Structures are given as structure tokens and as C-alpha cells.
Homo-oligomer: A and B are copies of this chain.
Amino acid sequence: MSNTKVLPLIEAEGSEAVAPCCPPLTERPFTAEEAEAAARMFKALGDPVRLRLFSAVASHESGEACVCDISDVGVSQPTVSHHLKKLKEAGLLTSQRRGTWVYYRVEPSVLAAMGKLLTLPAVA
């Protein structure tokens, strides 16, 4: 694989804390607050276009991608921008302007946190 960069599994550094949201779904019933927080992330991925955009960024080499590289998802460019904004608001992506282009990258801690949410109880 071309992914030569080690994705850090630490928590977010500069942004607001997004990672330590909730325990695994199967551990105990979610509280209202936990559900609110987790649902925000799930909802952000609950749209096909956003999921494609997110996947495109996440699978891009070096973990980041220019908008121009991923905006071929069948909707207009303003719509792409709108969805990227939603993903950013949900804490799943961060953006950075470099010269002419804007680059988006995934927040690895969030991916890890959501993965943990869905872990099954140890089969035994």
C-alpha cells in the first residue's frame, strides 16, 4: 500500500475533544447525552454523498485530499462544499487552505472512537 505515513491513534490535538464520546453500544444503554453526541457523527455519515467524500479523503494517500480530487460524486460543486462543511462540523474532517487549493483530512481519533462504539462484546 502507498500509505507510508503512520496515522497517529492519539486524541485530537488542537480541535475540541471529539474522541472520548461513548462506550461501546453493547456495553450499557446510552444516556441521552451520549446518544446525542454519537448520533451527530453517525448522522454525518448517513448520507451517500458525504460517505463517498469521507471515504475519498480517508483513503487518499497521506490521509488528505484536495477538494478538486474528490468532488466527482455526481452533485454540483456547491453541494460538495456543503457536505464537506457538515463533515467538518461533525468533527470528522479538518480543512486547510494551501495556496489555491483547500485540503481536507480525516480526524483519525474520531474514526477510532466510532470503531470502538461498534465493537462486539468479546465472544466467549
Contact = CB atoms under 8 A, between A and B. Distances in A.
Contact of A38 (B36, B51, B112, B121): B51
Contacts of A32: 48, 52, 73-74
Nearest to A65: B29
Contact of A35 (B28, B52, B112): B52
A111 interface: yes
A89 interface: no
A80 interface: no
Nearest to A45: B42
Interface residues of A, number: 48
B112 A25 contact: no
Interface string A52-72: 101110110000000000100
A35 B51 contact: yes
Contact of A124 (B6, B42, B108, B115): B6
A107 to B, nearest CB: 12
Contact of A48 (B7, B39, B56, B114): B39
